[in-house]
Structures are given as C-alpha cells and as structure tokens.
Amino acid sequence: MVSIILIVISTTIAAIILFATITLNVNEAFMPIHNIRFESSSVIVYRSNYGATTDYGIVVRQEKEIIKGVLLVKNLLRKDHVYDISVKKLGDNAVELMGKKIYLKRNVYFP
C-alpha cells in the first residue's frame, strides 16, 4: 500500500514538472524585440524581465553565428528601468542606439 502511494505521488510530481517544462516559453525572461542584420553579424535588442520583483531592462548585443547553434556575443548596451529603445541602422558598420552612435567590428571581438 505504501509503495502505491509513493508511486502516485512521484507520478504526480513528474507530470507537473513535465507540464511546466513543455509550456515554458524560453523567451519570457529575455525576449528579442529588435533585430538589425548586417553582412557578418546582427544587432539584437532584448527586453529583460526577471520576475515580479524586478523592472524591465534592455540589453543590446552584437551576435555572430560561428557554427550552427554557437554564437559569438558582444554586449553593446545595457539599460535598466527601460521598456524599449530606438534603434537605427546607419550603414554597414554602425547603429544608433538612443541617440548614441556605435561602430561595429566585422568579426565582433577580432580586429
């Protein structure tokens, strides 16, 4: 009888964990909101929301896919207490973020 009760409890806990894993949206805490593509990389603006006790923030990254599934990432800007920002592509190697001009390297970290 004790074994049956333990099996029912274990199965219930496993079902709850499985349901939470299947319905979880991976992008809820770090959601991409703007994507500007360049020849060799992309500038992506993410909205961060880490839960009920924190405010929204913005993280801007330059990302380059080296091989499928592997990104080389450089953080360009991070602002807390901001919901959205203005982003403009200025040319082949520059973007304007909140009125500030940022020049991008072709290979992110390499010269």
Q: What is the pTM of this model?
A: 0.67
Per-residue pLDDT of the chain (111 residues; tens, 9 = 90+): 889 999 999 999 999 888 876 766 656 677 888 898 888 888 899 988 766 677 788 888 988 888 887 888 888 888 888 888 888 888 888 888 888 888 887 776 655
Assign 17 to helix, strand or coil.
helix
Residue with tokens 């360049």: 38
Q: How far apart are CA 102 and CA 21, in angstroms?
A: 38
Alpha-carbon distance values, 11 to 2, 3, 22, 81 (Å): 14, 12, 16, 42
**Residue 109: strand pairing partners:** none
Predicted confidence at residue 5, as pLDDT, reads: 93
Among candidate residues 57, 41, 19, the one with its CA nearest the CA of residue 107: 41
Strand order across the 87-89 sheet: 87-89, 94-97, 100-103
Predicted confidence at residue 10, as pLDDT, reads: 95
